[in-house]
Amino acid sequence: MTRRRPLLSALGRVLIGLAVILLLAPTVLPPFLDRIYYRGPASNHFNGERFLNPEGDPPQDRSGMIRFLLGRDRVPWPAMVPVVPSRPPARVAGRAMRVTWVGHATVLVQTQGLNILTDPIWSERASPVGFAGPKRVRAPGIRFADLPKIDLVLVSHNHYDHLDLPTLRRLWQRDRPLIVTSLGNDTVIAQAGVPAVTRDWGGRVAIRPGIDVIVERVHHWGSRYGADRARALWSGFTVTLPGGNLFFAGDTAFGDGGWERAAAGDGPYRFAILPIGAYRPRALMASNHLDPAEAVAVFRTLDPAAALAIHWGTFQLTDEAIGEPPALLARTLAAQRIAPGRFRATEVGQAWDVPDRVIDRAAR
C-alpha cells in the first residue's frame, strides 16, 4: 500500500497537469498558430487584419458544430472506390478543349495549347499531417507521372484540400508553372519554396494575348491552423479564352447571389467548374459550400455551354453519403429541364471533350 501512494500521487499530478494544459490551450496556443499572410490597405472585404465576405456570415450553431465534429450524423463512406486512371495527351491545340476530373477540386483543362490545373492535390490526405485527417477514397484520376507539363495552376484558397504544399512543390520542381492565387496565399505557398502571383478580387494576370486570368469574388473563408482564419483571401477564377471563357469556382457558398452575378459579367462562358458536395449538415455548411440545387442556380446565372461537378466523392469532409451529391444534381437538372449533358458529374479520370459550339437555347 505504501508503494502505491507515490505512484498514485504521481499519476494524479500528471492528470492535473494535462487538465491545466487543456484549459490553457485555447488561450496560449492561438498566438503561436496565428500567421500574418498579407498586409495592405483596408477595403470592403479586408479590415486591415483579416478578410471577410462583404455580405456577412450567419452566426455559427455551436451545438450543431459539436455534433458535426464528433461525427454523430455522418453516413459511412466506403474505404476505397475503384478508379481507372487516364493518360491525357501532351497538348490540345486550338479551340478544342479536353477536361479531366482528377478528383475533389483538381481538374485538368487542356485547350489553346495550354495545360491548366485547378487546386491540385495528389496527397493521400487533405491534412497538415500524413497520419491523420480526411483520406482519399478515390485515387487521382491521372497518375502524377502521366500528367502532361503544366503551364498554369489556379489555387483558390488555403484549406488543405485545395492548397496542398507537397503537390505544388512537385509541380514546381518538374514544370515551373505559373501559379495564380488570391492575396496572402503566396505566403503559404512560399513555405514549399514555390513562387506564386497574387491578385485581389477583380485583378488580372496576363497569360498570353487574348488569354488572361481574372480573380473572382466567391463566398468562403480560409485557414491552415484555426487561429489564422481569414488571413488570406479566397477566390474563384475566370480564364478568358477564344471561343468562350473558363470559370472555376474553387470552394464557395451561395452567399447573397452577388458574386455569381458579378462573375457572369466576365463571360460568356464555354465551361464552368462548380462544387456540389460537402454540404451537410446544412445549418453549418450553408455559409461554406454549395449544395447541388444551389450549384444549379449558379450554373443558370453563369450560363456556360457546359459544366463539370466537383468537390464530391474524394475526401469525406461532411455528413452526406458519397453518392448523394451527383444524385441530387441529376434530380435538380431533370426538375428544371436542363439537359443532363450540359452539367455533368463524371467519374474520376474520365476525359470530356467539350464541344466548341453554342448550344441551342431551346435545349437549355
Q: What is the DSSP letter of 138?
A: B
| The pLDDT value given to residue 1 | 47
E-assigned strands of 78-228? 97-103, 106-111, 114-118, 152-155, 178-182, 197-199, 204-208, 211-216
Is 311 found in the same domain as 188?
A: yes
Q: How far apart are CA 296 and CA 291, in angstroms?
A: 9
| The pLDDT value given to residue 31 | 57
| The pLDDT value given to residue 23 | 46
| The pLDDT value given to residue 16 | 56
Is 154 found in the same domain as 19?
A: no
| The pLDDT value given to residue 3 | 52
| The pLDDT value given to residue 361 | 38
Q: How far apart are CA 331 and CA 267, in angstroms?
A: 27
Spatial strand order of the sheet with 245-248 comes to 204-208, 211-216, 236-239, 245-248, 269-275, 306-310, 343-344
| The pLDDT value given to residue 102 | 98
| The pLDDT value given to residue 15 | 57
- CATH number of the domain residue 177 falls in: 3.60.15.10
Among 84, 85, 109, smallest CA distance to 98 is for 109
| The pLDDT value given to residue 86 | 97
Phi, psi for residue 197 in degrees, rounded to 5: -100, 130
| The pLDDT value given to residue 272 | 98
| The pLDDT value given to residue 359 | 43
Is 25 found in the same domain as 121?
A: no
**Is 66 domain-assigned?**
no
Instruction: Please give the distance of CA 232 from its chain centroid, rounded to a whole number.
Output: 14
Is 345 found in the same domain as 242?
A: yes
Is 102 found in the same domain as 4?
A: no
**Is 64 domain-assigned?**
no
**Is 72 domain-assigned?**
no
| The pLDDT value given to residue 116 | 98
**Is 88 domain-assigned?**
no
Is 101 found in the same domain as 21?
A: no
* DSSP symbols for 330-359: HHHHHHTT--TTTEE-PPTT-EEEE--SPP
Could you give the residue ranges of the DSSP H alpha helices within the chain? 4-28, 30-33, 62-70, 165-175, 185-189, 258-264, 282-285, 292-302, 324-335
Q: How far apart are CA 224 and CA 271, in angstroms?
A: 30
| The pLDDT value given to residue 252 | 98
Number of domains in the chain: 2
Q: How far apart are CA 119 and CA 160, in angstroms?
A: 10
Is 342 found in the same domain as 252?
A: yes
**Is 312 domain-assigned?**
yes
Residue numbers of the domain that contains 115 = 97-363
**Is 86 domain-assigned?**
no
Is 6 found in the same domain as 117?
A: no
Cell of residue 284, nine digits: 453549418
Q: What string of pLDDT tens digits covers the 364 residues of the chain?
A: 445 555 555 555 655 555 544 444 444 445 557 989 999 999 999 999 999 999 998 776 666 666 776 677 899 999 999 999 999 999 999 999 999 999 999 999 999 999 999 999 999 999 998 899 999 999 999 999 999 999 999 999 999 999 999 999 999 999 999 999 999 999 999 999 999 999 999 999 999 999 999 999 999 999 999 899 999 999 999 999 998 999 999 999 999 999 999 999 999 999 999 999 999 999 999 999 999 999 999 999 999 999 999 999 999 999 999 999 999 999 999 999 999 899 999 999 999 999 875 443 334 4
Cell of residue 161, nine digits: 484540400
Is 107 found in the same domain as 28?
A: no
| The pLDDT value given to residue 70 | 67
**Is 58 domain-assigned?**
no
C-beta atoms surrounding 268 within 10 Å: 13
Is 277 found in the same domain as 149?
A: yes
**Is 49 domain-assigned?**
no
Is 297 found in the same domain as 160?
A: yes
Name residues whose C-beta falls within 8 Å of residue 191's C-beta, 6 or more positions apart in sequence: 165
Is 145 found in the same domain as 28?
A: no
Instruction: Please give the distance of CA 268 from its chain centroid, rounded to a whole number.
Output: 23
